[in-house]
Structure 1
């Protein structure tokens, strides 16, 4: 089983191919948010290493694809770029990239992914962030907070935004105190479970972010 990160500008466009990948028994995270984070060079390499394959959508521009390839090109990830039509000379020079039609058959897709479906191709951490959240024994609100931060590791979230997302309330002394207590409880549970590669960091005058070391 592979873990596949699908970077796109439109999740709805990728539904058919995403379902094919899942049908073959692989995990898929189809994301527009992480696309923007990678373009800003703000996504920790250690988070990318929890995946084996990155799929680049046809919805990306050539410039966006170039920036992403520069950012992840030195990692051990397999890179699949969706592309219709003949390959250019520049395409042929990208030795790490496997080119594939967005309408690839299930058989062709199965064979392409099978090259990465082996223990030696697994990422640095055997657990995904979802696995971690599941085994920490978090309360509903603790889980909500960690999921928000984990959606874009390395990106600070303001206290006001977090209070709005968690309680649907404005930032106040009360919600600020509750938020601080939530963060402390999650930190304690991460420490108890010896998950040293995951840290909730306080960003001065802003709020909090998740750091994946």
Structure 2
């Protein structure tokens, strides 16, 4: 696994870091990232390259919790080094696994292996879900830009997405009047194609905030068909 070890005292972690590397893991140990995350002055996209983040016992629980709140949620596993017995409260914490301070090499191997297997299973499930969603989008026979916008809104879930954000992500340009006008045209075309199935907008406009998908669209993704089973307009 690619692991990030967050600590206040890197020198203190030398033996533990050596154990992790003995087991074939790539380890990046840092105290600087801890400081920058606390100040909210760190590019968090850097963290996505890691499969797991280990919080050293040199960090207080409250510090670890505050850092976790800033980390993009995804497939990253969170580990906490602590004394034996701390994991009695495991169910009430954000950590995926606890690493006892006195864990030997075999115990450490077991903890990381279980986490890695769980991560692989989650990635496979997420990948399968992405393929299913894209297949269903293909069934709608939307054009490329229309699919890209719909897929971006699917990933946003129930969140209302600002028009400027969609413009930057889909056109990879600053949200100029011209780009925003193109976005409006694409959204109108999607609603024109799919409006018959929904009875109202597939992409809903929340004035002053942006766009979000009609809940019925998520029902379609879950069931594979619209409730009324009518033929899609091409």
- The higher relative CO (CA closer than 8 Å, separation ≥ 6) is in 1
Q: Name stretches of at least 5 consecutive residues in structure 1 with no aligned partner.
A: 123-213
The C-alpha deviation readout for 1:109-156, integer Å capped at 9, x for no partner, is 11222232676778xxxxxxxxxxxxxxxxxxxxxxxxxxxxxxxxxx
**Closer, same or farther in 2 for the Cα pair 1:25/1:93, shift >3 Å?**
same
User: Contact conserved, 2:65 with 2:94, CA < 8 A, in 1?
Assistant: no
For residues 20 and 89 of structure 1, do their structure 2 counterparts lie closer, same or farther at Cα, with a shift above 3 Å needed?
closer
Name the CA distance, whole Å, in 1 between partners of 2:38 and 2:81: 18
- The answer to whether the 8 Å contact 1:17/1:103 transfers is no
Q: Is the 8 A contact 2:7 2:59 kept in 1?
A: yes
Deviations 1:169-198 (A, max 9, x none): xxxxxxxxxxxxxxxxxxxxxxxxxxxxxx
Residues 51, 77 of structure 2: 8 Å contact kept: yes
Displacement of 1:34: 0.8
CA distance in 2, matches of 1:85, 1:121: 28
Q: Normalized per residue, which structure has more helix?
A: 2
99-108 or 71-80, larger mean C-alpha shift = 71-80
Alignment-derived partner of residue 14 in structure 1: 13
Unaligned runs of 5+ in 2: 124-234
Aligned to 1:87: 86
The CA RMSD measured in Å over matched residues stands at: 2.6
Structure 1 SS opposite 2:86: coil
1:164-183 equivalent positions in 2, closer than 5 A: none
The number of residue pairs the alignment matches comes to 122
Conservation of the 8 A alpha-carbon contact between 1:17 and 1:102? no
